[in-house]
Amino acid sequence: MDIKFSAEDLAFRDEVRDFFAREYDSAIVAKLGSSAGTDYKEGIVAWQKKLYAKGWIAPGWPKEYGGTGWSTTQKFIYETERGLAGIPDVVPFGLKMVAPVIYTFGSEEQKARFLPRILESEDWWCQGYSEPGAGSDLAALNTSADYAGDNYIVNGRKIWTTFAQYADWIFCLVRTSKGMRKQEGISFLLIDMKTPGITVKPIVTIDGKHSLNEVLFEDVKVPTENLIGEQDKGWTYAKALLAHERTGMAEVADSTRMLDSLKLRARVEVNGGKAMIEDPIFQMRLSDIEMELMALEYTELRVFASMAAGGMPGPESSLLKIKGTEISQAIHELQLQLASYYGGALPDNLDADELGHNFAFEARGKYMYGRAATIYGGSNEVQRNVIAKAVLGL
Amino acid sequence: MNFDFTEEQIMIKDSVSRFVRDEYDFDTRRKIVESEEGISREYWSMFAELGWLSVPFAEEYGGFGGTVEDIAAVMEELGKGIVVEPYASTVVVFGGLLSASDNSALKAELIPSVIDGSCMGSLASTEAQSRYEMTDVATTATACDGGFKINGTKTVVANGGTADKFIVTARHSGGQFDRAGINLFLVDASAPGVEVKSYKMMDGQRAATVTFNDVLVNESQLLNTAGEGMDLIDQVMPQILMGLSAEALGIMSTLNSTTVEYTKVRQQFDTPISSFQVLQHRMVDNFMACEQTKSMLYRALCQAGEDDSAALLKTVHALKATVARYGKLIGEEAIQIHGGIGMTDELNIGHYVKRLMMINVSFGDGDFHQKKFNQLSYSA
């Protein structure tokens, strides 16, 4: 057993590190760190355009559509370096969610129309899956699309739509037929957000911020050419996409970086004049997390090693999402514990430095929004159902 | 990068696994546990013939020249059968210390007899007050004509009753808790002044209180550079912890699979209890606990193959703490999910759990190792 990389892979790692160090500059960092929403959009788009120019925007895509042609090892190295550098992932809805559906199940015309603009970050996409009555039970969705000659007429409500306020396009699961098994009769539609009849309503989350939305559809006309694949087969496409998504959800590198910064912070924050990191109980809480992360790092490596060897990921891959999110939440919790009373202050008319604990706003925000990690992408309870069935055979 | 066992390792794993499956069913084990000596010498000879006792020893002494990975491969499979023969205490601990020693005359004399099965050995280090602290040694080695005299009492010495030889920690100089001044002596169980009182442990294994009354030893029986016995122990400890953790992993995976299978056949409320979501989720948590433990073991094994002993030390502390935490979880869950039948002595479940409990307290429990981990990680 070993975790050695080849000389070529190490050279690649250096190239990635070097690129990140050079190109992820302070202008982008400032925009991404800003609490104003449009700054975030400008910052991430600027970063994605740099990745596009470098040819690294879509490592997961097949090379013929604009992918990098990297080996599994190179993709793994790239993701690890990204996380360790504290660089946010690309906005997934276009690049990682709808694009694989388009290049796998879409028509040639759809590929030509949508893929280049996704690669160039010209179109911002959002995901129209969840509905008020369809969360973990996604197939219970109710938004209807009635076939009417050249168009579908869409009516219904989508909810928890991240960044719909910036989106040019939304990909939706809609109901085109009724009266059969609920997974059947669902279709996959691409909808232009500028179409009349679409309303985006903001949802402010418990971190006080606006990234989620409700999207209402009232007699929205969608050209039939925007249907992916066959009518009523949308569930199959969406499921294939979920399998595509499943690996790489442990975010070990991101958690490693967060934990490192938490440890540094715990040397500065004091109680009774003594650094928090010297407190034996705090140390126990810290090592509870650190040890779990050390193990998860190797769980991720095990999954990656079997994929790199050309095999399918083993049963251990199924725990990546659950453990990964539990760990990141635990880090957020400890970060907030460190922020203590100061962490309750809101930034409306208060400067972080003035507070004396300049990480406190972020600690509160990350903790509050971080609660979502065990809810989205298939709640951790649903993930447990999946493992019970697929791995334990229950 | 790879996490596969080598062909050789798979062969030896398969050989142990076949033995456990074909020759070591639970009734057989129970008879061995209840026998006079509490182990089967017949099986021990078989282990020798199959080469298992030679695994970690250098080829120059007739060994297989294996690494800690090979030890882990064997220990995991032994764990699946909760095998009571003293592989850990003789081959991994006693054999490990012997291998790491510079006393080549002693090694040349003893290692072949461990490999051929004629010598069982054990580390006699724990004292009534010492708990997990290896440096807490009240047993003394006083210089005398021709060598040293050992005086003191060692308690709960693993497989002390069947051991032919002991490696004894005895203090030559310094205070009771000092790291310096400890010597490791090889002492024959039949030497004058050695008294052994053997007893049963809850995991089906045996231990003994070993008393040393003016036991005469000389320089040729010393394993370490004088006074630096702790260096030798520290050198071997990662390997011991990895070996025991591998055994624990074998037990944990067995408990999990046995429990999952049981829920599929146990009917209540007219349905298999495996259909209950509350039990499904708990079994998923147990599955994840086992996988995470395996990952931590693999982390340690990978680092053992590198030259970063500081990183390895941190990891083995984390490993032992993880084994403690998740071993407890999986053990308690196995009993709970089995229900009343899990409480019975007749069923194997409780016996697997008790072995896990004893592994937990061997060479430091979870809290002990987590504190060590904290010291290495967070102290300025």
Q: What does the pLDDT look like over B102-111, one tens digit per residue? A: 999 999 999 9
- Per-residue confidence (pLDDT) for residue B81, from 0 to 100: 98
Q: Do A299 and B301 touch (CB under 8 A)?
A: no
| Cross-strand pairs, B206 | B200
Whether residue A112 is predicted with pLDDT greater than 60 in this model: the reply is yes
Where residue A247 falls among pLDDT bands split at 50, 70, 90?
Answer: low
Quick: pLDDT tens for A116-141.
999 999 999 999 999 999 998 999 99
Mean pLDDT across B68-81: 97
Q: What is the pLDDT of residue A356?
A: 87
Assign domain A124-232 one CATH number from 3.40.50.620, 3.40.50.150, 3.40.50.300, 2.40.110.10. 2.40.110.10
| Mean pLDDT computed over every residue of chain A | 93
**pLDDT tens for residues B321-354?**
999 999 999 999 999 999 999 999 999 999 999 9
Average pLDDT over residues B76-94: 98
pLDDT of residue B322: 98
Q: How confident is the model at residue A1 (pLDDT cuts 50, 70, 90)?
A: confident
pLDDT exceeds cutoff 70 at A35: no
Among residues A171, A82, A76, which one has the least CA distance to residue A124?
A171
Task: Say if B235 is an interface residue toward chain A (CB within 8 Å).
Answer: no
The backbone region for A217, taken as left when phi is positive above 0, alpha when psi lies in -120 to 50, beta otherwise, is: beta
Look at residue A33 in the predicted model and tell me its pLDDT. 77
Min Cα distance A248 → chain B (Å) is 17
Q: How high is the pLDDT of residue A377?
A: 83
Task: Looking at the complex, report in whole angstroms how far the Cα of residue A180 sits from the nearest Cα belonging to chain B.
Answer: 26
Per-residue H/E/C for chain B: CECCCCHHHHHHHHHHHHHHHHHCCHHHHHHHHHCCCCCCHHHHHHHHHCCHHHCCCCHHHCCCCCCHHHHHHHHHHHHHCCCCCCHHHHHHHHHHHHHHCCCHHHHHHHHHHHHCCCCCEEEECCCCCCCCCCCCCCCEEEEECCEEEEEEEEEEEECCCCCCEEEEEEECCCCCCCCCCEEEEEEECCCCCEEEEEEECCCCCEEEEEEEEEEEECHHHECCCCCEHHHHHHHHHHHHHHHHHHHHHHHHHHHHHHHHHHHHHCEECCEEHHHCHHHHHHHHHHHHHHHHHHHHHHHHHHHHCCCCHHHHHHHHHHHHHHHHHHHHHHHHHHHHHHHHHHHCCCCCHHHHHHHHHHHHHCCCCHHHHHHHHHHHHHCC
Residue B224 Cα, gap to closest chain A Cα (Å):
31
How does residue B379 score in pLDDT terms, banded at 50, 70 and 90? Answer: confident
Q: Largest Cα–Cα distance in chain A?
A: 74
Catalytic choice (A245, A297, A316, A333): A245
Percent of all residues in chain A with a pLDDT value above 70, rounded to a whole number: 97
Is it the case that residue A246 has pLDDT exceeding 60? no
Chain B contact probe: residue of A264, A296, A387, A394 with most B CBs at under 10 A = A394
Could you give the percent of chain B with pLDDT greater than 90? Answer: 98
- Confidence class for position A307, pLDDT limits 50, 70, 90: confident
Residues from chain B contacting residue A302 (CB–CB below 8 Å)? 3, 295, 298
What is the reported pLDDT for B26?
97
Domain A247-390 in the same topology as domain A124-232: no
Chain A positions in Cβ-Cβ contact with residue B306 (cut-off 8 Å): 2
Please give the class, per CATH, of domain B7-119. Answer: mainly alpha
Q: What is the pLDDT of residue A245?
A: 56
d(CA A67, CA A49): 15
Quick check: B299 and A299 CB within 8 A?
no
Return the pLDDT at A317: 76
Question: Do residues A250 and A300 touch, judged by C-beta distance below 8 A?
Answer: yes
Report the residue of chain A nearest B301, measured CA to CA.
A1
Per-residue pLDDT reduced to its tens digit, B172-209? 999 999 999 999 999 999 999 999 999 999 999 999 99
Q: Is the pLDDT of residue A208 over 60?
A: yes
Q: Across all residues in chain B, what is the average pLDDT?
A: 97
* Domain ranges within chain B, ordered by starting residue: 7-119, 122-227, 230-378
Report the pLDDT averaged over residues B274-301.
98
Q: What are the two backbone dihedrals, phi and then psi, of residue B66, each rounded to the nearest 5 degrees?
A: -80, 170
* The dihedral formed by the CA atoms of B66, B69, B75 and B80, expressed in degrees to the nearest 10: -140
**A245 flagged as catalytic:** yes
Domain A7-90 has CATH 1.10.3720.10: no
The chain B residue lying nearest A318, using CA atoms, is B288
Provide the CATH topology of domain A247-390.
Answer: Butyryl-CoA Dehydrogenase, subunit A; domain 3 (1.20.140)
Residues A364, A336: Cα–Cα separation, whole Å: 6
Task: Break chain A into its structural domains and give their ranges.
Answer: 7-90, 124-232, 247-390
Work out how many CB contacts closer than 8 A connect A with B. Answer: 128
Interface pTM, i.e. ipTM: 0.96
Arithmetic mean of pLDDT, B143-161: 97
User: Which tokens go with B33?
Assistant: 């546990």
Higher per-residue pLDDT: A231 or A33: A231
**What is the band of A371 on the pLDDT scale with cuts at 50, 70, 90?**
very high
Determine which of A1-5, A326-330, A340-344, B329-333 has the lowest per-residue pLDDT on average.
A1-5
pLDDT band at B380 (very low <50, low <70, confident <90, very high): low
Q: Tell me: pLDDT of A249 over 80.
A: no
pLDDT for residue A36 = 59
Give the pLDDT band (50/70/90) at residue A171: very high
Set of chain B residues whose Cβ sits within 8 Å of the Cβ of A311: none
d(CA B133, CA B127): 10
**B7 Cβ neighbours under 8 A, 6+ residues apart:** none
B270, pLDDT greater than 60: yes
pLDDT score at A387: 92
Tens of pLDDT, residue by residue over A79-101, are: 999 999 999 999 999 999 999 99
Q: Specify the CATH architecture of the domain B122-227.
A: Beta Barrel (2.40)
Q: 3-state class of A210 per DSSP? A: strand
Domain B230-378 superfamily per CATH: Butyryl-CoA Dehydrogenase, subunit A, domain 3 (1.20.140.10)
